Amino acid sequence: MSAPAPLLLTMGDVAGVGPEILVQAFVSGQAQGAVVLGDVPAMRRAADVVGGGAVVVPVDGFDGLAALPAGAVPVLQVTGLPANLSQVPFGHIDARAGAAAAACIREAVRRVRAGDGRAIVTAPIHKEALSAAGVAFPGHTEMLQALSVDPGQPLPPVRMMLANDELRTVLVTIHLSLRRAIDAVTFDAVCETIRIADASVRQFGVVRPRIAVAGLNPHAGEGGLFGDEELRVIGPAVEAARAQGIDASGPFAPDTVFMRARNVPGHPGEFDVVVAMTHDHGLIPVKYLGVEQGVNVTLGLPFVRTSPDHGTAFDLAGTGRADPASLMAAVRMARVLAG
């Protein structure tokens, strides 16, 4: 029998900690059987930073990955990358790093759509570096959404989930200014997010997910005193989801619903997932619990994609002190979700 398709790990921004935490994941054995799509010299620089006997091994294909010795970091050289990426300074925004990160993402999506990969795990990128390189996407989520279909085809509805062992949250809006995000909280958007959250949490083995829907305004609007989006938009969307057989409830005050959903010893969570209206409403509670175990999952794509829940950490890049735990958790979750 042939070996299963590997996990595809994108290199991320070479000025940040992505290459280093990838190397650490292989040294620890957590990424055995996966492959990095990136730049061989840049990954060798990361291996030198990490130390510990890590060896970067250039590969032409995916056969025999599982048989590589412990500590080996298989790297498939992505064609068309900017030259001299290993000389990009650590900790600085660089258009070359942004262009390379985007190229690795494109290659990963091309291969996973062709069946050459089980799932994609992305190392952190820097949005300003993407912009400096002329990449017309504000982040991973929007870029993956666009690449997941052929040109001219309708884009799949996607949502961002951040999850750890204690809490899961799914966002209605993602990378928008707060002013624009409020306008984007519509009945259809909330309904669609609840449906996507329900379907996605079932992949974690939850037969009937309990979905808490957070409000937008303080105290969930306090009956219209502090805003009426809960009455006009969010509440009706919850009722519509319930009419479809989904166990959704709310809207709840966003300053307390995450405490109710948190699942820890002695305090089983009341809910399996929280749907939050805006980026910071949903992500701050999960990240506060610790970025070392948080995983970002893009829901709604025709393939599995996970990533660590932190950024490029320019202040740590090149020091060898970056914590790979969140990346390792993303690798483990990708394996679970990809089957």
Number of domains into which the chain is organized? 2
pLDDT of residue 1: 46
Q: Give the Cβ contact number of residue 114 at 10 Å.
A: 9
Beta bridge partners of 7: 119
Q: Do 147 and 14 belong together in one domain?
A: yes
Could you tell me if 151 and 53 lie in one domain? yes
Domain span including residue 257: 165-286
Residue among 285, 268, 284, 3 at smallest CA distance from 118: 3
pTM strictly above 0.85: yes
Q: Do residues 14 and 150 both lie within one domain?
A: yes
User: Do 232 and 328 fall into the same domain?
Assistant: no
Helix or strand holding residue 45 (H, E): helix 40-50
pLDDT at 109: 97
Are both 75 and 189 inside the same structural domain?
no
Report the CATH number that the domain containing residue 205 is assigned in CATH: 3.40.718.10
**Domain check: are 228 and 329 in the same one?**
no
User: What pLDDT score was predicted for residue 281?
Assistant: 92
Nearest Cα residue to 13 out of 136, 140, 102, 111:
102
* pLDDT under 70: residue ranges of the chain: 1-3, 291
- Same-domain pairing of 74 and 21: yes
The amino acid present at 270, given as its one-letter code, is E
Read off the tokens for 253: 């005050």
